Amino acid sequence: MLLRNVRPWGGAASDVLLDGELIAAVRLHEPDADAEAGHDVVDGRGRLLLPAFSDVHVHLDSTRIGLPFREHTGRPGVWGMMSNDRENWRSAEIPLRERVAGTLERMIGRGTTRVRSFAQVDVDTGLEKYEAVVAAKEKFAGQAEVQIMVFPQAGILLEEGTPELLEEALRQGADVMGGIDPCQLDRDPVRHLDIVFGLAEKYQVEVDVHLHEPTDLAIFSTELIMERTQALGMQGKVNLSHAYTLGGSSEATTRSLIERMAELDISLTTVAPAAAGQLPLQDLAAAGVRVGLGEDGQRDYWSPYGNCDLLDRTWQLAFTRGFRADRLVEHAVAVATRGGASIMDHSLARLASVDDRPGLDVGDRADVVLVDGETVTSAVMDRGSDRTVLHRGRVVADQYRVEGGSGY
């Protein structure tokens, strides 16, 4: 396949030759019909060529994408929000599996081909939400890679029978073991993390812990996570989600946390909140900490936000971090694309700095998106809809329409 007249990372007009799944050559664009002979051609029309997006923090199982807007009835705090979800998710206008698959379809259509989705498992949902995410993953297996994290949204210790349900999901093939607020929700961080890491070690999966805790508690939980990561040899297999207060302590503490995360290859996923006390993206990149981006909920019972478009959330990341310089806005795009990809696939190198623009070189797998825009920064600001999406060297979506999709 030939991607004709595209601009990799906003650079010069180029023709990109694919050989199966891989990028085989990148050369300056030549409007010569002979160069197209023998190739399937995708006409880039001068659009930007970017790595495909990686949404590494999304709750597909709670989605209301495609359904009518409803009044937000969530109550403050994790337990209040979770209880609101419990009270409403079964009464949605269409079945759970249909709306989960439809949400994933919309994400692919807008350029996301790597997804880490959480699947809530507790005494209320059983494995129903997990099975709905599995079904969506299987339906779009040719259009996107999906990792499923079995997620104890209601804690692990508060309701009898939760650990057994979590283990059953892992036994059935879940990719990642989740945890949440070991101090603040379960109020027993040692036992909580013993179960999380014990199950992860037993089933040889990675760990992803949600941290909404205030600064001192979040740092304490993180230190316990780091101890277990090192003791169990799980370097490169642990992620912190949210953790938006970890930078709220002293400069020395922040520096020490970042250095330790880099040393243990503990990654971080953000949903771009407008919160003070976050770890600085520039410092994380300089240290070599893997950072990815996600949309979190998708217009669900937790929040009215989310629209399946990670380019929108990239704008939010740049905006909330106060990025104005092109190189920093482009770094937000790098986080949203290869940053997240390197969390799901540790064979991919960490971003080396805020100026690193990987993913479109010879030998890279052709997971890419074409999007209209004068520059990468303008694409983030304008968020156009003229998009073509390739996964493993094959066109899987064009103009928001997904191959094999239902048009949800």
The tens digit of pLDDT for each residue in 218-267 reads 999 999 999 999 999 999 999 999 999 999 999 999 999 999 999 999 99
Confidence band (pLDDT; 50, 70, 90) for 162?
very high
Over residues 53-82, the mean pLDDT reads 94
pLDDT at 150: 98
What's residue 35's pLDDT?
A: 62
Rounded distance between C-alpha atoms, residue 179 and residue 210, angstroms: 6
pLDDT at 250: 96
**Paired residues of 117 in beta bridges:** 58, 148
In the block, residue with structure tokens 């989740």: 178
Q: What is the mean pLDDT of residues 157-172?
A: 97
pLDDT given at position 37: 67
Residues 6+ positions from 140 with CB-CB distance below 8 Å: 101, 104, 105, 108, 146, 402, 404, 405
Domain ranges of the chain: 2-50+360-402, 53-344
Structure tokens at 102: 């439809």
Q: Which of the four pLDDT bands, split at 50, 70 and 90, describes residue 191?
A: very high
In which band, very low, low, confident or very high, does the pLDDT at 34 lie, cut at 50, 70 and 90? low
Q: Is the pLDDT of residue 7 over 80?
A: yes
Superfamily of domain covering 53-344: Metal-dependent hydrolases (3.20.20.140)
Residue with tokens 């949400």: 103
pLDDT at 201: 98
pLDDT at 142: 97
Contact 260, 229 (CB under 8 A): no
CB-CB contact of 332 with 323 (8 Å)? yes
Q: How many CB atoms lie within 10 A of CB 203?
A: 16
Mean pLDDT, to the nearest integer, of 58-84?
93
Which residues are bridge partners to 26 per DSSP? 16
For residue 33, is pLDDT > 70?
no
pLDDT of residue 39: 83
Average pLDDT of the chain is 96
Residue 256: count of CB within 10 angstroms of its CB: 13
Residue 34 β-bridge partners = none
Question: Residue 408 — very low, low, confident or very high, per pLDDT cuts 50/70/90?
Answer: confident
What backbone phi and psi angles, to 5 degrees, belong to 23? Answer: -75, 120
CB 89 within 8 A of CB 301: yes
Name the phi and psi angles at 166, rounded to 5.
-60, -45
Confidence of residue 38 (pLDDT cuts 50, 70, 90): confident
Q: Give the burial string for 166-184 (b: 16+ CB within 10 Å, else e).
A: bbebbeeebbbbbbbbbbb
Has residue 137 got a pLDDT over 70? yes
Between CA 227 and CA 225 the distance in angstroms is 5
**For the chain, what is the radius of gyration of the CA atoms?**
21
Other C-beta atoms closer than 10 Å to the C-beta of 156 total 24
Helix (H) or strand (E) holding 267: strand 266-270
> What does the pLDDT look like over 324-372, one tens digit per residue?
999 999 999 999 999 999 999 999 999 999 999 999 999 999 999 999 9
Specify whether the backbone of 182 is left (phi greater than 0), alpha (psi in -120 to 50) or beta. Answer: alpha
Which has the higher per-residue pLDDT, 31 or 319? 319
- Specify the DSSP class assigned to residue 61: G
Which pLDDT does position 300 carry in this prediction?
94
Instruction: Kindly state the average pLDDT of the residues 282-290.
Output: 98
SS3 373: coil
How far is residue 402 from each of residues 68, 108, 392, measured CA to CA in Å?
22, 7, 15
CATH topology of domain 2-50+360-402: Urease, subunit C; domain 1 (2.30.40)
